[in-house]
């Protein structure tokens, strides 16, 4: 546990940085702009627009009742934080990309949760648009969540590999239909059946084929 302390300190610091940047930018917007005021940064593309969003990211559930939103966001926040914490703890200690992605999502989720606890709604101000079409306004926390999710999906996809193992390997549960592969992902290993075309081949030949 002691050897993991520096890693968790760095990850926690990264999450805190996201939360601080998110909260500071929101406070600055509230103190310097009027609600619904918009400042053009790049004409016909990007503006800073002060918006309060009572719903979820990008305006989802904004028209629902206040009591429903309170219960819904309370339950989903507890579930999401617990799930992210579990994923983070199960990741290998050298899996920095996966851990940073999870921590980015965690920091963004906490940033928006603080808004709901303090104001009952989330402060949004990043407004991208083309002509009259506006993408739903968002904030730094939403950006961290979105980037974290994208990187986490890509990381899981490209970290998935297949390693051949004998049918009666001590590391996996034997499958009834011949040799199997161990599917290794950032969250652990699972056994998968060997393709039918290779099941009738000798195991050493299978290993040579996979090495090629």
Name the residues annotated as catalytic. Answer: 124, 142
Residue 90's CB is within 10 A of a number of other CB atoms, namely 12
Classify each residue of 178-210 as buried b or exposed e, where b means 16 or more C-beta atoms within 10 Å of its C-beta: bbbbbeeebeeeeeeebeeebeeeeeeebeeee
Phi and psi dihedrals of 193, rounded to 5? -65, 150
Torsion, Cα of 56, 120, 19, 34 (10° steps): 100
174 backbone φψ class: left, alpha, beta (φ>0; ψ -120 to 50): beta
Look-up of token digits 């990381």: 155
Give the angle subtended at the CA of 102 by the CAs of 100 and 105, to the nearest 5°.
110
């Amino acid at each position: 546990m002691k050897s993991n302390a520096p890693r968790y300190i760095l990850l926690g610091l990264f999450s805190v940085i996201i939360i601080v940047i998110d909260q500071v930018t929101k406070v600055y917007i509230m103190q310097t702009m009027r609600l619904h005021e918009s400042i053009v940064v790049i004409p016909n593309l990007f503006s800073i627009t002060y918006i309060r969003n009572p719903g979820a990211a990008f305006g989802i559930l904004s028209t629902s009742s206040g009591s429903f939103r309170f219960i819904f966001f309370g339950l989903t926040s507890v579930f999401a934080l617990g799930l992210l914490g579990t994923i983070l703890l199960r990741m290998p200690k050298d899996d920095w990309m996966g851990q940073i992605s999870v921590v980015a999502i965690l920091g963004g989720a906490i940033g928006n949760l603080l808004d709901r606890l303090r104001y009952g709604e989330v402060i949004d101000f990043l407004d991208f648009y083309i002509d009259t079409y506006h993408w739903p306004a968002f904030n730094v926390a939403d950006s961290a969540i979105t980037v974290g999710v994208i990187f986490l999906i890509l990381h899981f996809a490209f970290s998935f590999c297949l390693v051949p193992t004998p049918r009666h390997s001590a590391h996996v549960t034997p499958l009834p239909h011949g040799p199997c592969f161990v599917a290794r992902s950032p969250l652990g290993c699972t056994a998968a059946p060997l393709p039918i075309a290779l099941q009738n081949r000798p195991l050493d030949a299978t290993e040579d084929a996979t090495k090629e």
